């Protein structure tokens, strides 16, 4: 509906100011058949696609096979690193927004958090309280900060990931379905999972509000864990030590295209459909 509304607004603007080519902008609602037609057509010189890494693995080779160009904005198993010198109040706010905003359904959502042993007990209990108290509901009717999951499949994927995390030794806080709206609506309380190690579902992107929290003690080793996933897109470090900031932003640090300092991972989504 948003795309249709934007197309209508732009159409009125073009008609008002004139001198625009016919059908300069077209909004074409459809499914895989329509997407495949655009991907395979030699008349479409550039395909900019936003979606999952699975989608990118399909679209990229198909466009390249006809010597077209593609811009792929795909998924991200995005992480943050919290250093001992971090401002805990600022970090809590940034992590909570980055992990729970848009119900975790954003390519730059924070999904993993590495917290140093020295600051873990000062930060994580506050995060758990934030997860327990955040308002969940219809943002069109209430002041709720967390809206619904897109559909039942997304909710089931979230529950499967939480079950796998629990089986791997994780402690799950939240993640339950909220009794809001009709049966076809899937509202879920965001989940924070304390994990003993980066394993199982932590290594995969689940498009839902799940944040896996892990302890670390060695600053060099945490970079290896941070980069040890196949879908890094955005990243953050929370520190007041300039040397740690510079290392995180260097070739030895984050391997993500977006590297933030003292802000969350979300933002800077520039892909288009």
pLDDT, tens digit, for every residue of 162-171? 999 999 999 9
Span 161-185, mean pLDDT?
Answer: 96
Kindly give, in sequence order, each residue whose CB lies less than 8 Å from that of residue 1, ignoring residues fewer than 6 positions away.
none
Catalytically active residues are 73, 107
Q: Does position 272 have pLDDT exceeding 50, yes or no?
A: no
With b for 16 or more beta-carbon neighbours within 10 A and e for fewer, the 211-220 pattern comes to: bbbbbbeebe
Which domains does the chain show, CATH number per domain?
Answer: 2-73 (no CATH), 78-261 (3.40.309.10)
Tracing tokens 């729970």 back to the chain, one arrives at 100
> CA-CA distance, 155 to 175, in Å (whole number)?
9
Q: What is the pLDDT of residue 53?
A: 82
**First-residue to last-residue Cα distance in the chain:** 14
Q: Does position 268 have pLDDT exceeding 70, yes or no?
A: no
169 DSSP 8-state letter: T
pLDDT (tens digit, 9 = 90+) per residue, 102-142? 999 998 999 999 999 999 999 999 999 999 999 999 988 99
Q: What is the pLDDT of residue 271?
A: 46
Span 13-40, mean pLDDT?
Answer: 90
- A 10 A CB-CB count for 3 gives 11
Strand order across the 234-238 sheet: 171-174, 191-194, 210-216, 110-116, 78-82, 234-238, 258-261
> Are 113 and 86 within 8 A, CB to CB?
no
């Amino acid at each position: 509906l948003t795309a249709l509304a934007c197309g209508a607004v732009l159409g009125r603007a073009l008609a008002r100011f004139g001198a625009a080519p016919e059908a300069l902008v077209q909004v074409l609602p459809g499914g895989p058949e329509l997407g495949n037609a655009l991907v395979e057509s030699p008349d479409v010189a550039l395909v900019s696609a936003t979606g999952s890494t699975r989608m990118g693995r399909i679209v990229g080779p198909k466009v390249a096979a006809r010597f077209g160009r593609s811009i792929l904005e795909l998924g991200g198993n995005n992480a943050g690193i919290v250093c001992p010198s971090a401002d805990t109040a600022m970090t809590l706010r940034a992590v909570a927004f980055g992990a729970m905003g848009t119900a975790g359904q954003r390519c730059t959502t924070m999904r993993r958090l590495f917290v140093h042993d020295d600051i873990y007990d000062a930060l994580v209990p506050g995060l758990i309280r934030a997860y327990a108290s955040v308002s969940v509901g219809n943002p069109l009717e209430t002041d709720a900060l967390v809206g619904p999951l897109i559909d039942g499949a997304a909710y089931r994927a979230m529950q499967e990931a939480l079950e796998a995390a629990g089986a791997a030794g994780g402690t799950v806080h939240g993640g339950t379905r909220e009794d809001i709206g009709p049966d076809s609506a899937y509202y879920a309380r965001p989940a924070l999972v304390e994990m003993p190690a980066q394993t199982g579902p932590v290594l995969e992107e689940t498009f839902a509000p799940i944040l896996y929290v892990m302890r670390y003690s060695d600053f060099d080793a945490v970079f290896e864990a941070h980069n040890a996933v196949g879908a890094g897109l955005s990243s953050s470090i929370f520190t007041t030590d300039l040397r740690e900031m510079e290392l995180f932003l260097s070739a030895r640090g984050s391997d993500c295209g977006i590297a933030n300092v003292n802000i969350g991972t979300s933002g800077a989504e520039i892909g288009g459909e």
